[in-house]
Structure 1
Amino acid sequence: MSESRKQAHEFDQELLDLYDYYVHGQIDRRAFLSRAAKFAVGGLTAVTLLDLLNPQYALAEQVLANDPRIVSEYRKFPSPEGSGEGRGLLAQPKDMEGKRPVVLVIHENRGLNPYIEDVARRLAAQGFIAFAPDALYPVGGYPGNDDKGRELQARLDREKIVRDFVAAVCFAHDLPDSNGKLGVVGFCFGGWLTGVLASRLPDLVDAGVPYYGGPPTAEEAARIKAPLLLQFAELDTRVNDGWPGYEQALKQAGVDYTAHVYPGVNHGFHNDTTPRYDKAAAELSWQRTIAFFKKHLE
């Protein structure tokens, strides 16, 4: 991974917060550029700042698609109560002996981008079967551009997306090489959906790791049976504001959970394609994620 990308500390926190509002649809591109203009100094423009903050996927591929340890392919699955059919990336160890646990990987609010595909391959390199569905498959799949991906996902019916991922869980759980145990890890939108799937499929989801995801409803939280490992960023006030109520609901439901708040980092700290990436927090959180899945799925 290249070290030439700028780091979060090189940007004003207000600008990082503006970017968070933009990528989550709270302000549009024009509003971001207008409000970011005051940070455009030293020959920079607001457009240049946006380009610097946007993902650079070529810089962050940790496990190549042709890595000799794994095999990967796109697989379709039926979703009769959702969009009719879904598709995702299936990645698994190349030389498997016996059955393996399965982990569903859920992307952010922009479809199955290269970063999430890489996360799936990282899990496969650790000995898991990983399946990463694409919510955008019914509209042609991830378009190769995050801005367009966000636009497409925002237009989709949220409940239909959930039903497609419910179908994906069922498909992944029944894979022939599965050991019958299934975990879910999700990021941002996928973090929220991790809790929702644990609620809707309490007998299929055996462990969940939501990264900086918003909370499900209290009623949904009450139906969760799986242990949860929740990963938060200290500076992510937009998401963190919902945590106290979520935690109370988990306590009332008797859910086995552990929450970590990583100090001084922003929403998206695990995504190694943007300046919000924090190497120390990302690596520690990932070590915890792998250990958590090994404990509850193997």
Structure 2
Amino acid sequence: MKRRTAREFDQELLDLYDYYVHGQLDRRGFLERAAKFAVGGLTAAALLEMLSPHYAFAAQVERTDPRLVAEYLKYPSPRGHGEMRGLFARPAAATGRRPGVLVVHENRGLNPYIEDVVRRLAVAGFVAFGPDALTPVGGYPGNDDEGRAQQAKLDRDKITEDFVAGAEFLAQHAACNGRVGVVGFCFGGGMANTLAWRLPDLIRAAVPYYGGQPAAEHAARIKGALLLHYAALDTRVNAGWPAWEAALKAAGVRYEAHVYPGVNHGFHNDTTPRYDRAAAELSWERTLAFFRQHLG
């Protein structure tokens, strides 16, 4: 299967796809508005298929990689949905306890791309845990469209509590030394911002990728450090950054922000054409260095 790039598509079409995956357009609306880009024998449905994730591209670290040990674990979430499940991974050769990183998925559950990010962190020397917000409805269904629909139906406040409980579970795991960070993408980026202020005594480092920003008054609660990644073409999310940056400065929060030129929301996700290899690799290098600096 050919890996396509954002340069093969009109920016307006990429923006329409962004609206679609974030619930601002339904499938019919996307197809109707994308029809004008369906030329040369293509259909709007074919364009949607081209823009959608192809998870074979996400396997940077295979499930059977001998460098790590991975398993699905359950954990209690009494203020959320009761009992949750997630993918836990640690370095196979690790001796002693390691810093932990919570991985928060996008708005569609624990899909193969996010599971691969969990494994990437384990290979990098951390213990990593990726909860699945869709546990109450049977877990990620294997299809992003269904996953988005299911996540949208769940109580958002309870989802937040599920990730709060996930961070606490990771911190208490026997393989973790209690020093915990969080990285999240899209919805997960917003959750990473949220966990930074919800768990100020636990989250030492938060890395939101193109994540929505909390209300300004929450900045004063943050004690950890933030590394924020934004895509220059992501006007929807970027609109909230100036006010959030002002709040971080006013509160004296340690933060570092990068806006990657010429790339779209989702540039780290290597399963869609919005993926940008240069930005993804640079941001990931910065992310690992940031966690090593603040978690040890």
Same fold (TM over 0.5): yes
C-alpha displacement of 1:242: 0.3
Is there any run of 5+ residues in structure 1 with no aligned partner, and where?
A: none
Stretches of 4+ aligned residues off by more than 3 angstroms: none
1:32-47 pair list within 5 angstroms: 32-47=30-45
Match of 2:98 in 1: 100
* SS of structure 2 residue aligned to 1:265: coil
C-alpha displacement of 1:97: 1.3
Alignment partner of 1:230 out of 223, 228, 237 = 228
- What is the distance in 1 between the residues matched to 2:219 and 2:74? 30
Alignment partner of 2:61 out of 53, 60, 63 = 63
C-alpha displacement of 1:60: 2.3
**Contact in 1 for aligned 2:102/2:181 (Cα 8 Å):** yes
Is there any run of 5+ residues in structure 2 with no aligned partner, and where?
A: none
Alignment partner of 1:260 out of 249, 258, 261 = 258
C-alpha displacement of 1:222: 2.1
* SS of structure 2 residue aligned to 1:206: strand
Q: Which amino acid aligns with 2:103?
A: V
C-alpha displacement of 1:221: 2.0
- What is the distance in 1 between the residues matched to 2:140 and 2:222? 30
Match of 1:295 in 2: 293
1:87-135 residue CA offsets vs partner (Å, 9 max, x unmatched): 1000110111121000000000000000000000000000000000000
**Contact in 1 for aligned 2:227/2:256 (Cα 8 Å):** yes
C-alpha displacement of 1:5: 1.3
**Contact in 1 for aligned 2:263/2:274 (Cα 8 Å):** yes
- The total of aligned residue pairs comes to 296
Q: Which amino acid aligns with 2:149?
A: E
**Contact in 1 for aligned 2:58/2:112 (Cα 8 Å):** no
TM-score normalised by the chain length of structure 1? 0.98
Identity %: 70
Match of 1:118 in 2: 116
1:15-34 pair list within 5 angstroms: 15-34=13-32
**Contact in 2 for aligned 1:112/1:133 (Cα 8 Å):** yes
**Contact in 2 for aligned 1:195/1:221 (Cα 8 Å):** no
Match of 1:84 in 2: 82
TM-score normalised by the chain length of structure 2? 0.99
Q: State the Cα RMSD in Å.
A: 0.7
